[in-house]
């Protein structure tokens, strides 16, 4: 039986990496009934909506989406497409695995980094509640609730338990924001007490950032509020090759959207230079979500085999291959 999945190619390099990912997924043998919907800067300007109704309707039907990069128009008051999707479908858990890819030459290539960052996705400063008190004086409200804090903590610990991870680290600034981050921290501690087999520790966000770039091998699963998660997940990606090789997922109780977290890179669009790795690895996460575990493992191993071999890599990771050539190389490894 085919899985119904909403495909949002996006704009810029989005359609190119989406096409490459579709070819690779077809080669796994998993049947996917794609429901393609358009979402790009031009359409957003024309409709005046960050997320037009056809996109919402499709994800409501399929409950699973695969999304390429989408450019949110600058100016005009348009809400971020990503923020809009997360709020609309209550995709409260942003999950970002950060792993060393064999053969990719990075500072920590020999350490085999393997961490997963859980970022609360629906509140914190990203609630977007701002107010100009008087001219040139603006406040922005940081919203932290027990409900959101507890469920992201539980998501992190459930993941750790299911995948036999050993430690969960919560990242905070409760020494300064005693009420807001203090509540987040209390929720993490309460949830941690229910998982005695998993080690639990806490780091203040500035120290966690320093530790991330000096001793990243200490991290296993991390959980944090929205703003810290946004910053630290990109920081961690830089240790393993950048946003072009790191997947991402936004998961709620009823819907999930898997996405490349890099930008739309309009300067190289249509030139065959885009690296599809991030979206392909995001599709690995999607396959696991769809319980296609064997196909997910085979695809992960095929990507790593191509990188280990090093003959069919795109320019951003030191090669000369095109978008379609790296996809073809991955397909060859699958076969």
Q: Which of 126, 200, 228, 307 is catalytic?
A: 126
The CATH code of domain 114-239 reads 3.40.718.10
Give the mean pLDDT of 89-109. 91
DSSP 135: T
CATH fold match for the domains 1-97+243-335 and 114-239? yes
pLDDT at 203: 98
Q: Which of 11, 124, 181, 230 is catalytic?
A: 230
Structural domain spans, the chain:
1-97+243-335, 114-239
Give the mean pLDDT of 210-221. 96
Chain-wide mean pLDDT for the chain? 95
Is residue 200 part of the annotated active site? The answer reads: no
Q: What percent of the chain has pLDDT over 70?
A: 99
> Which pair of tokens denotes residue 14?
């989005």
User: CATH for 1-97+243-335, among 3.90.1150.10, 3.30.1520.10, 3.40.718.10, 3.30.565.40?
Assistant: 3.40.718.10
Q: Which of 67, 92, 124, 173 is catalytic?
A: 173
The CA distance from 325 to 215, in Å, is 35
Q: What confidence tens digit (pLDDT) does each residue in 153-208 have?
A: 999 999 999 999 999 999 999 999 999 999 999 999 999 999 999 999 999 999 99
pLDDT at 75: 67
pLDDT at 72: 81
The CA distance from 151 to 87, in Å, is 15
Q: What confidence tens digit (pLDDT) does each residue in 55-92 have?
A: 999 999 999 999 999 988 876 667 788 888 999 999 99
Is residue 173 part of the annotated active site? The answer reads: yes
Q: What confidence tens digit (pLDDT) does each residue in 34-60 have?
A: 999 999 888 888 888 889 999 999 999
Is residue 230 part of the annotated active site? The answer reads: yes
pTM: 0.95
pLDDT at 148: 98
Q: What is the CA radius of gyration of the chain?
A: 20
Say whether pLDDT at 6 is over 90: yes
142: Cβ contacts below 8 Å, ≥ 6 apart: 124, 125, 127, 177, 180
Is residue 307 part of the annotated active site? The answer reads: no
pLDDT at 76: 63
Give the mean pLDDT of 124-138. 93
Q: Which of 33, 57, 206, 253 is catalytic?
A: 206
């Amino acid at each position: 039986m085919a899985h119904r999945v909403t495909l949002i190619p996006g704009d810029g390099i989005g359609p190119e990496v989406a096409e490459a990912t579709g070819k690779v997924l077809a080669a796994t043998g998993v049947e996917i009934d794609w429901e393609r919907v358009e979402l790009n800067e031009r359409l957003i300007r024309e409709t005046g909506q960050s997320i037009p109704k056809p996109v919402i309707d499709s994800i409501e039907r399929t409950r699973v989406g695969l999304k390429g990069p989408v450019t949110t128009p600058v100016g005009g008051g348009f809400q971020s497409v990503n923020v809009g999707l997360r709020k609309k479908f209550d995709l409260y858990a942003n999950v970002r695995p950060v792993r060393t890819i064999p053969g990719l030459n990075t500072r920590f290539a020999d350490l085999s980094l393997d961490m997963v960052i859980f970022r609360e996705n629906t509140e914190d400063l990203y609630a977007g509640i701002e107010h100009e008190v008087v001219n040139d004086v603006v406040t922005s409200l940081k919203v932290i609730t027990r409900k959101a804090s507890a469920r992201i903590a539980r998501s992190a610990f459930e993941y750790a338990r299911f995948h036999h991870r050993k430690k969960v680290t919560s990242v905070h600034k409760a020494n300064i924001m005693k009420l807001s981050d203090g509540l987040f921290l209390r929720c993490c501690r309460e949830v941690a007490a229910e998982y005695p087999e998993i080690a639990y520790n806490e780091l203040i966000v500035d120290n966690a950032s320093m530790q991330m770039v000096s001793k990243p091998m200490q991290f296993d699963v991390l959980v944090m509020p929205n703003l810290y998660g946004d910053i630290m997940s990109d920081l961690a990606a830089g240790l393993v090759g950048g946003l072009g090789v790191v997947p991402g997922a936004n998961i709620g109780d009823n819907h999930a959207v898997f996405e490349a977290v890099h930008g739309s890179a309009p300067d190289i669009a249509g030139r065959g230079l885009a690296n599809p790795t991030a979206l392909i690895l995001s599709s690995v996460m999607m396959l696991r979500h769809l319980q296609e575990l064997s196909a997910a493992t085979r695809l992960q191993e095929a990507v790593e085999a191509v990188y280990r071999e090093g003959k069919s890599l795109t320019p951003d990771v030191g090669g000369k291959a095109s978008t379609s050539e790296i996809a073809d190389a991955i397909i060859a490894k699958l076969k």
